[in-house]
Amino acid sequence: MSIFGRDKTFAQPINWITSSFIAAFHVGAIIALFFFTWKALALAILLSWVAGSLGIGMGYHRLLTHRGYKTPKWMEYFLTVCGTLALEGGPIAWVATHRVHHQNTDKEGDPHSPRDGGIWAHMGWILTGRAMHNNAKELLPFVPDLRRDKFHLWISKWHWVPVALLGLLIFAIGGWSCLLWGLFLRTTVGLHATWLVNSATHMWGSQRFITGDTSKNSFWVAILTFGEGWHNNHHASAQAARHGLAWYEFDMNWYGICALRTLRLAWDIKQQKLAPRRNTAS
């Protein structure tokens, strides 16, 4: 289905449990705007980095999904816990879904292709599907490595516990303003930032590499996601730990991996090996 045709979102039943939680966080994010403090803003920025960069970018994506580098198990588990703070589900469902996306990019079986509609690619596949649900049996064959790890099995089942405990801690220390900014607004912005990688970077941007799909590089999505917006670079060599290849391609997640390497906490780092074949805007 073309992105200009009927969006697949409107042909599917809504998953009311998932949608209700997402709606509640959006409401909390709007309310947060009326409870601004500088302390709350600083907390939101800090937790955005912890959840979005350490957790999703460096942890869920480049480490767990693609094994772009190696790190001690305790560091892997720490990054995984950071990932749960993004409210994007446990590692098993997240990693499996992303591996399926790479296997079927923009083809039948892609969980979130814009070919099924822009809204579908952005959030419709979550509102109507079983994304973030750990009992989706069809996803299990894609994560044999994580299923052999007792910690990943446990945290995938109880992925909501860390963010719930964090919310209680924030409220106890900082009150309502910090809770609304550090949890509700921060999480909502982070969700949309991640979803933009699925939607915007397959719809608008430039292609450095011929990848046979619609993946594109987007500077503004890269800024919002700590470097995940260099999506065409990523699809050209999925296992590479570095996505921003040029000096001007901001990639905070890569800088974080470099910091771990300096501390001897990261090794066997996979690098991009392909040469550019195309550089056009669309």
CA dist 189 and 270 (Å) reads: 30
Residue 92 above 80 pLDDT? yes
Confidence tier at 7 by pLDDT (50, 70, 90) = confident
User: At how many degrees (to 10) do helices 73-84 and 150-157 cross?
Assistant: 10
Distance from C-alpha of 125 to C-alpha of 128, rounded to nearest angstrom: 5
Count of Cβ atoms closer than 10 Å to residue 119 Cβ: 17
For 227, residues 6+ apart whose C-beta sits below 8 A from its C-beta are: 53, 57, 243, 244, 249, 250, 251, 252, 253, 254
pTM: 0.93
Where is average pLDDT lowest: 135-139, 152-156, 239-243? 135-139
Q: How many CB atoms lie within 10 A of CB 140?
A: 15
Structure tokens at 63: 């480490």
Residues forming beta bridges with residue 217, ordered by sequence position: 206, 230
- What's the pLDDT at 31? 98
Q: What is the pLDDT of residue 3?
A: 47
Q: How confident is the model at residue 28 (pLDDT cuts 50, 70, 90)?
A: very high
